Chain A
Amino acid sequence: GAGVSQTPSNKVTEKGKYVELRCDPISGHTALYWYRQSLGQGPEFLIYFQGTGAADDSGLPNDRFFAVRPEGSVSTLKIQRTERGDSAVYLCASSQFGGPETQYFGPGTRLLVL
């Protein structure tokens, strides 16, 4: 079946602009995760959804970052007033139940803030 998809694959924006990154999880997966990966580093946890609700948003760096999953499927990560330090690959993953189990990652969105 289809895996996790993310759009856009690449996004270039200017400092101060607003961006939205979209994630389509595997159908039927109740848990959805956002991670951020800087060059040469491992993914860093941002936020985790169980269904429509954010079960843990402790990884969001500040209030410029926000994510939603209104129908328990597609999720959007929103970044306001982007800064050059926000440049990274934003990865989305989904899993069936949300416990300690396989997380299936999408290809990521490469965000570059000029």
Chain B
Amino acid sequence: GENVEQHPSTLSVQEGDSAVIKCTYSDSASNYFPWYKQELGKGPQLIIDIRSNVGEKKDQRIAVTLNKTAKHFSLHITETQPEDSAVYFCAAPPGEGTSYGKLTFGQGTILTVHP
């Protein structure tokens, strides 16, 4: 099955700095890579996703890059704000079979943005 590794486990930045979180995956046939943000006591919420036919996607201060050859994808947050503080998870589905929606999640990154 799919194996997803996420680094770092914790990340502390000053407000206005950039934050980068990286994930690697094992299934070379995977074709969809979402990033979720989870705040305390809430369920994960999708913030951005990318499909394997593009190398980068951007939405305001958030961007995701994908390197299919190396099997890794990264979340980039620019101009961080205190409200960006949360746990961030990457995920990937299996590349083949009937469970394309079955996500394997990384271990999570606790992002703290200091004012």
- A residues with CB within 8 A of B: 4, 31, 33, 35, 40-45, 48, 55-56, 58-59, 91, 93, 95, 98-108
Contact = CB atoms under 8 A, between A and B. Distances in A.
Interface size class for chain B? 20 to 34
18 contacts: A4-B43, A41-B108, A43-B105, A56-B99, A58-B99, A59-B102, A91-B43, A91-B44, A93-B43, A98-B100, A98-B101, A100-B31, A102-B34, A102-B46, A102-B49, A105-B44, A107-B42, A108-B42
Q: Is the interface of A mostly helix, strand, loop or mixed?
A: loop
Contacts of B106: 42
Given A42-B107, A45-B103, A106 B32 contact: no
Interface string B26-41: 0000011010100001
Nearest to B41: A107
B43 A108 contact: yes
A42 B43 CA distance: 11
